Amino acid sequence: MNPENAKRRIEELSDKVNYYNEQYYIYDKSEISDYEFDQLLKELNNLEKEFPQYKLPHSPSSRVGGDITKKFPVVKHEYPMLSLANTYTFEELEEFDKRVKKDLGLEQVDYFCELKFDGVAISVIYENGILTSAVTRGDGVQGDEITANVKTIKSLPLKIQNADYPKKFEVRGEVFFTKSEFEKLNKSREDQGEDLYANPRNTASGTLKMQDSSIVASRNLQCYLYYLLGEDLNIEKHEEGIKKLEKWGFNVSDSYRLCNGIEAIRNYINEWEHKRFELPVETDGIVIKVNSIKLQNKLGTTAKSPRWAIAYKYKAESALTELLKVTYQVGRTGAITPVANLNPVLLAGTTVKRASLHNANEIERLDLHEGDFVHVEKGGEIIPKITGVDKSKRSKTAKKINYISKCPECGTGLIRNEGEAQHYCPNDIYCPPQKRGRIEHFVSKNAMDIDSLGSETITGLIDKELINDIADLYYLKYEDLENLEFEAYSEKKGEVIKRRLLAKSARNLINGIEASKKQPFERVLFGLGIRFVGQTVAENLSNHFQNIERLSNASTEELIEVQDIGTRIAESLRAFFNDKMHLDLVERLKKAGLNFEIKEDNTGSNALNGAKIVVSGVFENFSRDGIKKSVKVNGGKLVSSISSQTDFVLAGENMGPAKLKKAEDLGIKIINEEEYLKMIEEK
C-alpha cells in the first residue's frame, strides 16, 4: 500500500473503530461481531506500525496503553476544581436551600440532582473534537497530567463524532472501578498471593498514577461525566450541558433529575437511598447543583467550594449481628485468609453471611471473642467488613479468638515473614487447596489457556490420582480419560455431583493440553504460580533473562535490577528455584515440550550486527517491551547481565546503579537512547 492510501485507510479505520467503541460502551449496541471488530483493529495496528507517521492522536490503538510515563507533569487548571461541601442530614440541606434562595432573592430554585459516584475526579480537555489532555484534581488549582492513562478508558471518546462542538471545551467526571472489575482484580491478587486492595476508590486513584499505561488498560476503568466547561457553549443551564455531553457520546449516568425545590430533592434522596445498591458502581451520596448557570455565577464560590452546589452523603450502611465463628481459607499460594461467619443480616440491600477479617492483626485489633456481636459495614467496601464490637453484649465466659498456628487443610505450621501481614502455609506441594489451586491457575486463560479443563474435572483427576501436579497433565493419555467417572463439588449447584468424561470431552481435553505447548515463555512462567509473580512481572522476567536457565540462576541482586522487581519478589523467586522439587517440575515440563525461552526474531534489519546488549532503565520513545523488541528486530542480542562479553549497555533514565557501576568497572561502552536511535537509523 502506498503512503497516501495508507494515510486515508488509517483515518477511516480510526473513525470506524472509535464509532463502534462508542456504540458498545456508551449505548450497549453491537453493530458488528467481535471478530469483525478485532479484524478492523488488527488492520489499523498493522498499518500504524508500517506507517507510524500517520498514526492519529485519537487512534483507538491507544486504548491498550503501552506508554511509559516517568514523571507526570503538573498542569494548572483553566477552571479551578473545587471540592463540594458535605452535609449529612436533611436539616442541613434545608439550610443550604434557604441560604441559596436568600442570596438570590427568590422564592423557589430549580436544582439539578445526580448520584455522587465513589471514584476519582478527572478533568479532560478536547480541542477540535479530539482528546488532548487529562488532569487529576490535585490541590484544585493544579494537578497531574495523566493523558496516556486516561486514554485507555474505553467509555471515554478519543474523538467526538458529532460536528456541533466548540473549538475547545473541558469535561469533568469520575473515574471508577465497577464492582465486578474490582472483585476480579482482587481475585487475581489473591491468586498471586498478594494483599487485597481495600476499596475501589483508592485503587482507581493508584491505577491512574501508574507509570505503565498498558497495566492501566488491563484494569478496565470506567468513567461517568457530569460537568461541561468552556467558552461558546451556548448553554444557560447545567442540564443543557449534560444533554450536550450525552449527544456528543460521553458516558453520562442516566440517574440525574431536575428537582424544583427542596421537597423534590427529598424525594430523589429517599428514592435512591436503597436503589443505588443495584448499580454496578459504588455511590456515597447525592450532588445537588443550582441548575441556572447565571444563578451559579451570581452565587459564586468560597476559597474551597462553590456556593451553588452541595453533596448530601448517605450514612454508611451498618448492621449489628452475631459472630458465629472464624474460619480460615487457604489460597493457591498458601496465603491464609480469616473469614468471619455471621448470623445472616440484611445490609445495603443484600443478606450478609460473611465478612473479611484480612489477617491476624485485624483480629487482634478488634479483640474478637467467640459469640461477639459485631458491627458490619459496607461503606466504600465491596466485601463487608467488621468495624467494631459491642462489648456490652459479650458473655463473661467468651473466649478470645486466637489466630491459628497450623494450616486448616494439611496441618503444616504456618509461616509469617517479617514485614508481611499475612500468614501462609509453606506446604505448597501437598496441601490440597494449594495443589488444586495451582493447577487451576496453570490452565487459566492468562496462563496456558486450557479451557477444556474446569475446576470440577481437575478435582476429579486429583481424586483419581491421575494428576498430582501441573506436569502430570502432559502425560495424560486418552485411555486414562475416556468414560472416567468421578465426584466433584459443583459451585453452581452447591453440592457434590457425579461426573463422567465422555469420548468427545476426553478428546477435547487431550487436544487442549497439546495445544497449550505453543504458549510463549512468559505465559508458562506466569502459569508456574510463583508467589508474587503476576502477568506483568512474568513478562518482565522473560524479556530480561530470555530463558529459564538464566532466570533460575540469577542472584537476588540481579533479579532486583529488573523492572518492577523488588526484594520480596526476588526472594520468592530464589526460594522457588532453590527447591529441588520445583526444579524437577520445570524439567518435566521442558521434556513435555513447553516453551522456556524466548525465540530470537531475526527477520528484521541487521543494524546491530549481533551485538550483545544489556538494556536498563526507562526510555522516552519506547515502552518497556518496545525497546527490547527493537533490539531484536534490528539484529541485536539481548543479554540479562553485564559481563566482559557484553558489547554495550543501552541506558535509559533510572538505570540500576549496580549495572552502571559494573559496566564502568569492566569498561563496557554505555550509550543513551538518542545514540541508539542514530545507530539503527544510520544503518
Tell me, what amino acid is at 251?
N
Least Cα distance to 511 among 451, 588, 599, 462 occurs for: 451
Can you tell me the distance from the alpha carbon of 355 to that of 376, in angstroms, rounded to the nearest whole number?
8
Q: Secondary structure of the chain: what % helix, strand, coil (to 5)?
A: 40, 20, 40
Q: Worst-scoring range by mean pLDDT, 8-12, 378-382, 480-484, 497-501?
A: 378-382
Q: Write out pLDDT tens, residues 225-250.
A: 999 999 989 999 999 999 999 999 99
Cell of 131: 482528546
Least Cα distance to 456 among 429, 425, 475, 484 occurs for: 484
Answer yes or no: are the C-beta atoms of 439 and 458 closer than 8 Å.
yes
Q: Write out pLDDT tens, residues 20-67.
A: 877 766 666 767 776 677 788 888 888 888 888 888 888 887 776 555
Provide, rounded to the nearest whole percent, the portion of the chain with pLDDT above 70: 93
| Stated length of the chain | 683
pLDDT given at position 587: 97
Quickly count helices (H) and strands (E) in the chain. 24, 22
pLDDT at 599 over 90: no
Cell of 137: 484534581
- Burial bucket for residue 395 (CB in 10 Å: 0-12, 13-18, 19+): exposed
Q: How far is CA 317 from the centre of its chain?
A: 26
pLDDT at 596 over 60: yes
pLDDT at 358 over 80: yes
Q: Is 116 a catalytic residue?
A: yes
| Residue 158, phi then psi, degrees to nearest 5 | -85, -25
Strand partners, 116: 285
pLDDT given at position 492: 63
Strand partners, 319: 376
Q: Write out pLDDT tens, residues 270-279.
A: 999 889 988 9
Answer yes or no: are the C-beta atoms of 93 and 265 closer than 8 Å.
yes
CA dist list (Å): 656 to 532, 551, 659, 660: 21, 18, 5, 6
Can you tell me the distance from the alpha carbon of 151 to that of 132, in angstroms, rounded to the nearest whole number?
10
Classify 674 as helix, strand or coil.
helix
Q: How far is CA 638 from the centre of its chain?
A: 30
Rg (CA), the chain: 29
pLDDT given at position 601: 53
Answer yes or no: are the C-beta atoms of 175 and 83 closer than 8 Å.
no
DSSP alpha helices (H): ranges in 177-285? Answer: 179-191, 200-208, 213-218, 238-247, 262-275
| Residue 237 host element (H or E) | none
Answer yes or no: are the C-beta atoms of 624 and 68 closer than 8 Å.
yes
Answer yes or no: are the C-beta atoms of 448 and 514 closer than 8 Å.
no
| Residue 29 host element (H or E) | none
| Residue 541 host element (H or E) | helix 535-545
Classify 488 as helix, strand or coil.
strand
Can you tell me the distance from the alpha carbon of 291 to that of 308, in angstroms, rounded to the nearest whole number?
9
pLDDT at 111 over 80: yes
Q: Write out pLDDT tens, residues 490-547.
A: 666 667 788 889 999 999 999 999 999 999 999 999 999 998 898 878 988 998 899 9
Q: Worst-scoring range by mean pLDDT, 105-109, 301-305, 353-357?
A: 301-305
Strand ranges across the sheet with 309-313: 86-87, 309-313, 283-290, 110-117, 257-260
pLDDT at 182 over 70: yes
pLDDT bucket at 683, cuts 50 / 70 / 90: low
Least Cα distance to 641 among 663, 624, 621, 626 occurs for: 663
Catalytic-role residue among 7, 42, 55, 116: 116
Instruction: Find the Cα–Cα–Cα–Cα dihedral 508, 512, 514, 520, rounded to 10°.
Output: 170
CB atoms within 10 A of CB 60: 24
Mean pLDDT of the chain, nearest integer: 88
The stretch 549-562 carries a mean pLDDT of: 92
pLDDT at 361 over 70: yes
Q: Write out pLDDT tens, residues 634-665.
A: 888 877 678 888 899 998 876 766 678 888 88
Strands (E), 70-129: 74-76, 86-87, 110-117, 120-127
Task: Say which residue, 82 or 28, is predicted with more confidence.
Answer: 82
Q: Identify the residue whose cell numbers are 473545587.
A: 82
pLDDT given at position 378: 74
pLDDT bucket at 3, cuts 50 / 70 / 90: confident
| Residue 426, phi then psi, degrees to nearest 5 | -80, -5
Can you tell me the distance from the alpha carbon of 244 to that of 228, in angstroms, rounded to the nearest whole number?
8
The stretch 186-205 carries a mean pLDDT of: 80
CA dist list (Å): 322 to 325, 344, 354, 510, 604: 9, 9, 11, 49, 67
Answer yes or no: are the C-beta atoms of 416 and 338 closer than 8 Å.
no
pLDDT bucket at 677, cuts 50 / 70 / 90: confident
Instruction: Please enumerate in sequence order all residues whose Cβ is within 8 A of that of 257, keeping only pairs 6 or more positions apart, or say none.
Output: 112, 113, 114, 264, 268
Instruction: Please enumerate in sequence order all residues whose Cβ is within 8 A of that of 300, keeping only pairs 6 or more positions apart, or say none.
Output: 306, 307, 308
The backbone region for 65, taken as left when phi is positive above 0, alpha when psi lies in -120 to 50, beta otherwise, is left
Tell me, what amino acid is at 547?
N
| Residue 367, phi then psi, degrees to nearest 5 | 55, 50
pLDDT given at position 382: 60
Q: Worst-scoring range by mean pLDDT, 48-57, 217-226, 667-676?
A: 48-57
Q: Identify the residue whose cell numbers are 537512547.
A: 673
Residues 636-672 as b/e (b if ≥16 CB within 10 A, e otherwise) read bbbbbbbeeebbbbbbbeebbeebbebbeeeebebeb
Least Cα distance to 497 among 453, 539, 457, 470 occurs for: 457
Can you tell me the distance from the alpha carbon of 370 to that of 399, in angstroms, rounded to the nearest whole number?
6
Can you tell me the distance from the alpha carbon of 508 to that of 502, in angstroms, rounded to the nearest whole number?
10
